[in-house]
Structure 1
Amino acid sequence: MSGLLAFLSDYTIQNVALGAAILGVISGVLGCFAVLRQQSLLGDTLSHAALPGICLGFIFAGTRELSAILAGALLTGILAALFMLALSRRTRLKTDAALGISLSVFFAIGIVLLTYIQGTGNAAQGGLDTFLFGQAAAILRSDIYVMGTITLIGLGLVLAFWKEFKLVTFDPGFAGSLGMPVTVVETALTLLIALAVVVGLQMVGVVLMAAMVIAPAAAARQWVRSLEAMVILSALMGIIAGVSGALVSALATGLATGPLVVLAASALVLVSIFLAPERGLLWSGLRRWRAERHLRGRQVLATMYELAAAHDNPAYPAEQSMLDAYHGLGTGKVLHRLQGRGLVRRTTHMPQEGIHWELTEDGRHEARRSLAALGKDES
């Protein structure tokens, strides 16, 4: 117990865990709007567009001062977002093409600037390339304050303009008909996502930040139906992914924090995709399997009812082999399930011809319902 307390009281571990939790909150909340607006590539674009800003912030400050680097990253992220919006609205390019162009142009500029800085011989530039993949262990308490302030500003803006953001996300056409400045609201949402990217640069880096914007929101989307619940759950999943990744990194020597945080978030996505009650693949497959079983039973009941009607005998014994031939499948299991429900029963009729089944009174009633349902399906 004392070892655990000592571990959790470690200054570096506390900083990393707090930073990861802050990143999880803002990326989880703002990522919901990117996912619902079908702009999953937006996080990737803005994170890569932050690289030239990192370099410009370093050139301006002359050292790796976090506030200057984050300000530069925010500036180029905003420019990339505006560039993307201009391309998608002023040209015939679709949003995904505009995102791809913006990502490529700004990331290329960032690589050129990074190469230039490395060639200047400035000793202070050592480790600047760690912003590509993050360096969580280097986070200081002062950096936590900067990240927390940015997060509070972003969350405050979301709360202040919640109705506008929600309406534009789900129905921009209707929002425009109400006189709402849709373009301004969409631009504001895009710039807020740039804020989330800036918060995560030191934690997970330029390359992996896109996953933190998308993964918690994509996981939360599987479990809930309303935006309010999705935002809350996405923030919680972002915290879980961030803190768990940070703690595993601290326990396992030599493993980078950023990739572990992203892997934890990806694990939440996979679990949600498979196990979410309504949208999960497991439950969807189970519902489909049950529906198929029920449909086969209805088909067999309908066939037996029609045979009985054709022979003018409500208790007409249908031979199982004939049912097999008609339906093209083994009906034995289906008939035994129907027998368990009290809808059919085995009967003795010309034993040399095989097993025979007849409808019970409940079975005839269910068969009439099945025929009506099948008739509706056919229509």
Structure 2
Amino acid sequence: MSSILALFQDYTFQTVALGSTLLGLISGVLGSFAVLRKQSLLGDGVSHSSLPGVVMAFVLLGSKNTEVLLLGALVSGLLATLLIVGIVRHTRVKFDSALALVMSVFFGLGLILLTYVQKIPNSNQAGLKRFIFGQASTLLKRDIDLMMICGLVLLILILLFWKEFKLVTFDSDFAQSLGFSPKKLNLLLSFMMVLAIIIGLQTVGVILMSAMLITPAVAARQWTNRLWVMVTLSALFGAVSSVAGTAVSSLVPKLPTGPAIVVCVSAIVVVSVLFAPGRGILHRLYRRRKNRILYKLEGSVPDGSAT
């Protein structure tokens, strides 16, 4: 117990935990819209597509500042998103096929560029690989400030366009009949998800970022049919699992923070899928068995009208 109390008083742990919590909260909010719009894989595609932007920002500007690298990742992620939308809109290629195509091309290009940079003598490229698997322990106060600013902007946009996002998520045709532009709203939501993904790359990396975006929302969806409740629960699940994963990685030697957070939030999904009322597997089995027993009891009762 004393070790846990000492851990929460450690400045490094507080910094990493705060950054991870902000990431879990932001990812949970925006991931809810991604799940409901059936675009869960968009986070995976954008996170993988951001890798060449990170490396190109380092090559062109020669700087390893987090802000510079994340700016490159943002440009690359937005370009990938626009390519996916353009392919779906102007060709007969489906969304999942377009996403797989763009994601594989961009991620492959990023790996090629990363290999090239590593072969340049005295290029000082050390640290770029942290964006592949994540390295939350490298988070600094300025990184936390950047995450707080971006997260505040995203939450304000969610509050300002709550009704519009709700309409376009559940019934885009009705939203269009009211004078809203589903295309513009979808692009705005996609841009917001890209920004949320980019600010989380340093914490969990391009490979696991999609799990941070989608998993809390999947767990929250099992408990409710109301959007605001789902968004709140998803943000809560993301924040709690981030703190728990950070604590576990700090207590267990050589355990990376990103995977620990993903395992914690995955455990929440398992509990939700099994025990959530209404949608939970065990609850449905219990209800089915109860209905079967009632049906047998009703069938065994003699019909009084026949006498």
Cα distance in 2 between the residues matched to 1:74 and 1:156: 20
For residue 128 of structure 1, give the secondary structure of its aligned residue in structure 2: coil
Aligned ranges for residues 304-323 of structure 1 at < 5 Å?
304-305=302-303, 309=306, 314=307
1:163-199, Cα deviation, whole Å (9 max, x unpaired)? 1111100101111122211101001111111111112
Q: Does 1:235 align with 2:225?
A: no
The corresponding residue for 1:199 is 199
Report if the CA contact (8 A) 1:63-1:125 is conserved.
no
Distance in 1 between the 2:267 and 2:5 partners?
27
Q: Report the Cα offset of residue 5 of structure 1.
A: 3.9
SS class of match (2:207): helix
Structure-to-structure mapping, 1:110-189, within 5 angstroms? 110-189=110-189
Identical counterparts, % of pairs: 48
What's the offset of the Cα at 1:201? 0.4
In structure 2, the residue corresponding to 1:125 is in which secondary structure? Answer: coil
SS in 1 for 2:63: coil
Who is 2:35 aligned against? 35
Q: Secondary structure at the match of 2:124?
A: helix
2:286 counterpart residue number: 286
**Is the CA contact (8 Å cut-off) linking 2:32 and 2:217 kept in structure 1?**
yes
Aligned letter for 1:144? I
Q: Residue in 2 aligned with 1:100?
A: 100
1:187-219 C-alpha deviation (Å, 9 max, x unpaired) = 111111111111210110000000000000000
Asked if structure 1 preserves the Cα contact closer than 8 Å seen for 2:117 and 2:123, the reply is: no
Larger Rg: 1
Q: For residues 121 and 201 of structure 1, what CA distance do their matches in structure 2 show?
A: 26
AA aligned to 1:112 is: I
Query: What root-mean-square deviation, in Å, do the aligned CA atoms of Structure 1 and Structure 2 show?
Result: 1.4
Q: Tell me how far apart the structure 2 counterparts of residues 289 and 78 of structure 1 sit (CA, whole Å).
A: 50
Is 1:7 matched with 2:7? yes
Partners of 1:4 and 1:286 lie apart in 2 by 39
* Structure 1 residues 275 and 2: CA distance shift in structure 2, 3 A: closer
For residue 64 of structure 2, what is the amino acid of its counterpart? R
| Aligned equivalents of 2:221, 2:186: Cα separation in 1 | 21
Q: How far did 1:115 drift?
A: 1.3
Q: Does 1:295 align with 2:301?
A: no
1:269–1:4 distance in 2 versus 1, CA, 3 Å:
closer
TM-score normalised to structure 2 length? 0.96
Partner residue, 2:250: 250
CA distance in 2, matches of 1:122, 1:197: 31
- Structure 2 equivalent of residue 226 of structure 1: 226
Residues 272 and 297 from structure 1, CA distance in 2 versus in 1: closer, same or farther, beyond 3 angstroms? same
The number of equivalent residue pairs is: 307
Contact 1:63–1:124 (Cα < 8 Å) also in 2: no
Match of 2:109, as an amino acid? I
Q: CA deviation at 1:87?
A: 0.8
SS of aligned partner of 2:86: helix
| 2:66 pairs with 1:66 | yes
Q: Is the 8 A contact 2:28 2:217 kept in 1?
A: yes
- Read off the aligned partner of 1:95 and give its amino acid letter: F
Q: Deviations over 1:198-245 (max 9, x none)?
A: 121011000000000000000000111111111111000000111100
Instruction: Say if 2:28 and 2:234, in contact at 8 Å, map to a contact too.
Output: yes
Q: TM-score, normalised by structure 1?
A: 0.78
Distance 1:249 1:169 in 2: 37
Farther-moved stretch of structure 1 (276-285 vs 292-301): 292-301
Per-residue CA deviation, residues 268-298 of structure 1 (Å, 9 max, x unaligned), is 1111000111111111110000001111122
Show CA shifts across 1:21-51 (max 9, x none).
Answer: 0100110000001000011111100110111
Distance change >3 Å, CA 178–CA 49, structure 1 → 2: same
Cα deviation digits, residues 102-122 of structure 1 (max 9, x gap): 211211121121111111123
| Structure 1 residues 328-359: Cα deviation after superposition (integer angstroms, max 9, x where no partner) | xxxxxxxxxxxxxxxxxxxxxxxxxxxxxxxx
Structure 2 partner of 1:259: 259
Aligned residue type for 1:148 = M
The alpha-carbon distance between structure 1 residues 298 and 16, as it changes in their structure 2 partners (threshold 3 A), is: same
Aligned equivalent of 1:324: none
CA distance in 1, matches of 2:83, 2:19: 30
2:87 and 2:98 in contact (8 A); partners too? yes
Equivalent position SS for 1:149: helix
Q: Secondary structure at the match of 1:153?
A: helix
Deviation at 1:2, TM superposition (A): 5.8
In 2, are the aligned partners of 1:208 and 1:262 still within 8 Å (CA)? yes
Q: Tell me which amino acid in the other structure corresponds to 2:303.
A: Y
Deviation at 1:4, TM superposition (A): 4.0
What runs of 5+ residues in structure 2 fail to find an aligned partner? none
